[in-house]
């Protein structure tokens, strides 16, 4: 009688234990994994919306500026200063990708630790070992961390971007790629430079905002300064509206006057405020036009002094 009554009781206890095992740790683990996946999806969706909103606002600001009919020079300055739609889109996309990577790492790390705790793995020794290993890794990877932090601030602050001409101290060239660790440049001779972001102490961006073209015009030292200056002013007047300078000149070139007098040469200087990376072509064009105008006005070029102090025309 006793044995017969104990069989149903044993069966009841066994089924209860089995049910607790099924709905215990395994259910919690599944819930943690599903919750981590859902949380990651929600955060990534929010980041994408923020990035897209930022891009749309930048595009709306550019469209509003265009509708207001801002002057050409102001519009060029705005684009060069970082308001360019594509430039802003690339920077926002880079930051969005970085935030998504960080959130994915944090969420799944926490989920992994929670699952290990449910499985009965002691986390104390593991976390202590990880802390010691992290300290050792931190000492060994200081340069890498420095590169990543420097690259992050460069992207956030928009110090330079792809297509800019920059001077990093080690090399000067056109930026071809910017990552969190390295910046790739190509100099004027075609050499590709890979520079670690943490090693860049100072950066000179030649393409940001606007650039200045400097034109030095040498003439004979005994020419009348006012006459030469009047010819130069007449030549550079209205160049901003010339078709050859559309999108290149921001303001009318400014003749500054006599820069130097040396031997038989008097050098006059002209400044030209140009769009980024356009100063070299503008300088060549101004120099050519001024040379033609000086020849037509009969203004002599630099003079070379002979051995007895007599002046002879240079060739």
| Cα dihedral: 261, 314, 256, 227 (round 10) | 100
Top mean pLDDT of 8-17, 31-40, 62-71, 74-83 is at: 31-40
In the chain the domains, ranked by start, together with CATH numbers, are 8-121 (no CATH), 159-205 (2.30.30.60), 211-303 (3.30.70.100)
Between these two residues, 131 and 267, which has the higher pLDDT value?
A: 267
pLDDT tops 50 at residue 10? no
Top mean pLDDT of 71-85, 126-140, 198-212 is at: 198-212
pLDDT in tens, 275-292: 877 888 888 988 998 999
Between these two residues, 16 and 156, which has the higher pLDDT value?
A: 156
- Predicted confidence band of residue 42 (pLDDT cuts 50, 70, 90): very high
Nearest alpha carbon to residue 238 among 251, 221, 226: 251
pLDDT of residue 45: 92
Q: What is the mean pLDDT of the chain?
A: 76
pLDDT of residue 83: 45
Contact between residue 174 and residue 165 where contact means Cβ atoms under 8 Å apart? yes
pLDDT in tens, 222-261: 888 899 999 998 888 877 777 777 777 888 888 888 888 8
Which tokens hold the place of 90? 């690339």
Look at 69-83, 174-188, 281-295 and tell me which has the smallest mean pLDDT: 69-83
pLDDT of residue 16: 60
pLDDT of residue 21: 58
pLDDT tops 70 at residue 18? no
Long-range contacts of 38-43 (CB under 8 A, 24+ apart): 39/107, 40/103, 40/104, 40/107, 40/108, 43/100, 43/103, 43/107
pLDDT of residue 252: 84
Averaged pLDDT for residues 80-109: 72
- Predicted confidence band of residue 132 (pLDDT cuts 50, 70, 90): low
pLDDT tops 50 at residue 314? no
pLDDT of residue 24: 62
């Amino acid at each position: 009688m006793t044995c017969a009554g104990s069989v149903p009781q044993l069966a009841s206890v066994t089924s209860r234990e089995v049910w607790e095992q099924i709905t215990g740790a395994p259910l919690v683990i599944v819930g943690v994994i599903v919750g981590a996946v859902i949380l990651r999806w929600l955060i990534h969706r929010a980041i994408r919306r923020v990035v897209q909103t930022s891009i749309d606002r930048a595009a709306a600001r550019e469209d509003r500026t265009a509708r207001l009919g801002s002057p050409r020079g102001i519009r060029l300055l705005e684009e060069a200063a970082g308001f360019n739609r594509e430039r802003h889109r690339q920077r926002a996309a880079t930051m969005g990708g970085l935030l998504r990577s960080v959130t994915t790492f944090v969420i799944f790390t926490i989920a992994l630790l929670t699952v290990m705790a449910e499985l009965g793995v002691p986390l104390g020794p593991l976390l202590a070992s990880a802390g010691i290993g992290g300290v050792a890794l931190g000492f060994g990877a200081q340069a890498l961390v420095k590169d990543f932090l420097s690259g992050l601030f460069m992207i956030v602050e928009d110090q330079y971007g792809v297509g800019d001409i920059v001077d990093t101290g080690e090399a000067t060239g056109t930026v071809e790629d910017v990552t969190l660790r390295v910046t790739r440049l190509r100099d004027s001779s075609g050499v590709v430079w890979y520079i670690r972001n943490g090693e860049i102490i100072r950066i000179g961006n030649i393409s940001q905002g606007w650039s200045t073209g400097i034109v030095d015009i040498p003439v004979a030292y005994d020419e009348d300064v006012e006459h030469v200056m009047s010819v130069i002013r007449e030549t550079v007047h209205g160049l901003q509206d010339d078709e050859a300078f559309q999108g290149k000149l921001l303001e009318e070139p400014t003749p500054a006057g006599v820069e130097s007098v040396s031997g038989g040469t008097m050098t006059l200087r002209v400044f030209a405020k140009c769009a980024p990376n356009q100063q070299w072509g503008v300088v060549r064009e101004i120099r050519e036009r001024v040379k033609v105008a000086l020849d037509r006005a009969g203004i002599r070029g630099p003079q070379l002094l002979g051995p007895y102090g007599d002046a002879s025309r240079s060739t």
